[in-house]
Each structure stands twice: as structure tokens, then as C-alpha cells.
């Protein structure tokens, strides 16, 4: 049977289950885990994770990471959109920080979307970031063929919505450009991504996405996503160890079942006492490139 992340400690609480006792044998030096360096293909070293009260509000950047915690960055794309109101209800219910990657034109598509943007802006728990102005009109290949147009599109969103930071996510692409992470999922987008970085943008991708089914509802259950998080942490598949960027979209939160699944997902992570939620601005070394 394949091990999960929860089996890496002697006293680790599984999400929604009773505690398991696991005997771990390890060399003295194997306890030293990398923190901010880019991920390699090696397995994680064994660590002891103890139960502590969960911190659910983003910590200050100058507070050292707790080696017994795993950090999750909840990010939501394409807002303001249908489902944004449901998202706001959930984050207020659990008082957790998120980062919302906003599409500029969505703020002007309808009065409801404009109102939802105002609600997002008022929330201290919500950090707003740039997801382009046009979302490439959903014609991604054509969009990235013209790097200057890409920069103009992001600048238009930044100027029209008055973003207070230069964190950005590329539409239709999982691209990273930070001080220590350089990753492009589809190589034909590389030139545009490089030029966005030179224009001062910090590009943030993701480690795990909760995708929709054919009806635009969240696909799978909260238990499935929890298992995937355990697996990513156990196998050291995060871009930065112990820090996982999670993605889903506002528009997948229109139906009751999807809202319930996201609610249960967040509740389970929070109640496990193993995780801390943070905004993207607290991601390791995310601000180094801006100094």
C-alpha cells in the first residue's frame, strides 16, 4: 500500500481520522529538510509533525516557518465571476486568507461583477493580484505569440484596477517567474513570460489545481483533494518544500455541491492542525525580485 504524507511522523493526525502511530527509522542528518530551494526529484526526509492549534490568518513575512507545519496558499482565478459571492462566504466563515487573481474586464462586464470586486477589495483576508485584462480572450496560443501585447494586457489590468502589487498569473498557463523559480509549462509561452518578468511582474503558477467536470462543477470530492495534498507533500512535488500553491476558480462555485465540497475541504485542512493558510505575498522569496 502506498504511503501518504501522514505516515511520515510518529504522531500525525490524519484529516478526519484518528491518530496513527508509525515508527520511523532515520539517520541523524536526514532530518534537515530544505526550505526555500527549488524542488529536486529526491524524496522528503522524515520529520516529526506534532499537533498544534492551527493558525489561519496569514503570518507576518518576518516570522520563521514552523518546521512542523505545511503551508497552503489558496488562490482563486477569474474573479469577479459567478461564484465569487459563495467564495466570500466561505473565507469569512473560516477566517482564512486567500489570493484572488482578477481578470480586468470582468470588473466591467456587469453590475454584479463590479459589486463583487468592491467586496473583494474591502476584505482584509483577500489579496488581489493580476490575471491579465482580457484573459487572452481564451485564445492562448495566439495571445502568447505577441509578447508586447501580453505586457500591454497585464499593464492595462494593473492600471485600470490599481493593483497594489505586481504578483500575476498568466491565463491558460502554469508559469512561474520568481527570484528562484523559473518554470514554463508550454514552451511557446517562454518569451512572453520572460518579458513579463523583465517588466517587473512576479509570475505565480500553482502546485495543485481543483478542476471542473463537464458541467463546470468541482470534479471529485474534498477527500480526493486532501489525499492529493498529502501525496504532494510526501513526495516533495511542491515548487518550494512545505509550501503548496492551490488553484481553483470562482466560477466553479455556483452550485450547492461544489460550495459544500470546498467548505468541507477547507474545514478538514483547518481542523487537522497541520496546515497554515497564507496569502501569496507570504510565499518564500516571493518579494526578493521586487527589492
CATH, residue 198: 3.20.20.370
Read off the pTM.
0.80
Q: How much is the pLDDT for 288?
A: 86
Residue 36, in any domain of the structure: no
Domain count, the chain: 1
Query: Residues 229, 230, 234, 239: what is their CA dihedral angle, to the nearest 10 degrees?
Result: 10
Residues in the chain predicted with pLDDT less than 50, given as ranges, are 1-61
At residue 198, the pLDDT reads 97
194 in any annotated domain:
yes
CA–CA dist 85, 231 (Å, integer): 31
| Complete DSSP assignment for 92-117 | HHHT--EEEEE-TTHHHH-HHHHHHH
Quick check: 237 and 207 in contact, CB under 8 A?
Answer: yes
DSSP letter string, 114-174: HHHHHHHHH-TTEEEEE--SSGGGG-HHHHHT-HHHHHHHHHHHHHHHT-SS-EE--TT--
Q: Kindly state whether residue 180 falls inside one of the protein's structural domains.
A: yes
pLDDT confidence of residue 64: 73
Distances, alpha carbon 217 to alpha carbons 14, 111, 112, 260, 289, in Å: 27, 24, 21, 11, 37
Helices 256-271 and 84-94, packing angle to 10 deg: 30
Q: Could you give the angle at which helices 190-198 and 147-161 cross, rounded to 10 degrees?
A: 50
pLDDT at site 289: 63
pLDDT digits (tens, 9 = 90+) for 186-236: 999 999 999 999 999 999 999 999 999 999 999 999 999 999 999 999 999
pLDDT value of residue 177:
98
State the cell numbers at 73. Answer: 496558499
- For residue 57, what pLDDT is reported? 37
Q: Is residue 263 part of a domain?
A: yes
Three cell numbers written together for 283: 510565499
Cα–Cα distance measured from residue 185 to residue 90, given in angstroms and rounded to the nearest whole number: 31
Is residue 248 assigned to a domain? yes
Domain-embedded: residue 187:
yes
Q: What is the pLDDT of residues 97-112, one digit of tens each?
A: 999 999 999 999 999 9
Assess if residue 161 is contained within a domain: yes
Asked, for residue 145, whether it belongs to a domain, the answer is yes
The whole-number pLDDT of residue 69 equals: 93
Length of the chain in terms of residues written: 291
Return mean pLDDT, the chain.
Answer: 84
**Whole-angstrom distance, CA of residue 135 vs CA of residue 26:** 48
* Domain that includes residue 215, residue range: 5-31+41-290
Q: What's phi and psi for 209, nearest 5 deg?
A: -120, 135
Cα→Cα distances 197→39, 176, 191, Å? 21, 10, 10
Provide the pLDDT for residue 15: 43
Amino acid at each position: 500500500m502506498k504511503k501518504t504524507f501522514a505516515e511520515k511522523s510518529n504522531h500525525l493526525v490524519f484529516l478526519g481520522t484518528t491518530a496513527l502511530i508509525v515508527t520511523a527509522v532515520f539517520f541523524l542528518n536526514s532530518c534537515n529538510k530544505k526550505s526555500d530551494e527549488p524542488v529536486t526529484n529526491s524524496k522528503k526526509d522524515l520529520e516529526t509533525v506534532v499537533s498544534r492549534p492551527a493558525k489561519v490568518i496569514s503570518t507576518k513575512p518576518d516570522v520563521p516557518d514552523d518546521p512542523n507545519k505545511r503551508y497552503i496558499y489558496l488562490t482563486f482565478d477569474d474573479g469577479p465571476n459567478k461564484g465569487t459571492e459563495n467564495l466570500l462566504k466561505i473565507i469569512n466563515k473560516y477566517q482564512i486568507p486567500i489570493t484572488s487573481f482578477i481578470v480586468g474586464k470582468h470588473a466591467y462586464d456587469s453590475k454584479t461583477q463590479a459589486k463583487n470586486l468592491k467586496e473583494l477589495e474591502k476584505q482584509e483576508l483577500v489579496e488581489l493580484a493580476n490575471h491579465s485584462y482580457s484573459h487572452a480572450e481564451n485564445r492562448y496560443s495566439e495571445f502568447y505569440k505577441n509578447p508586447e501585447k501580453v505586457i500591454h494586457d497585464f499593464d492595462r489590468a494593473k492600471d485600470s484596477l490599481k493593483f497594489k502589487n505586481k504578483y500575476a498569473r498568466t491565463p491558460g498557463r502554469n508559469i512561474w517567474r520568481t527570484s528562484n523559480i523559473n518554470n514554463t509549462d508550454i514552451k511557446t509561452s517562454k518569451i512572453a513570460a520572460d518579458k513579463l518578468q523583465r517588466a517587473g511582474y512576479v509570475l505565480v503558477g500553482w502546485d495543485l489545481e481543483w478542476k471542473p467536470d463537464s458541467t463546470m462543477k468541482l470534479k471529485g470530492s474534498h477527500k480526493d483533494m486532501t489525499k492529493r495534498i498529502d501525496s504532494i507533500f510526501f513526495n516533495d512535488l511542491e515548487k518550494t518544500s512545505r509550501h503548496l500553491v492551490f488553484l481553483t476558480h470562482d466560477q466553479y462555485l455556483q452550485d450547492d455541491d461544489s460550495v459544500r465540497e470546498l467548505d468541507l475541504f477547507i474545514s478538514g485542512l483547518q481542523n487537522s492542525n497541520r496546515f497554515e493558510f497564507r496569502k501569496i505575498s507570504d510565499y518564500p522569496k516571493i518579494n526578493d525580485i521586487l527589492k
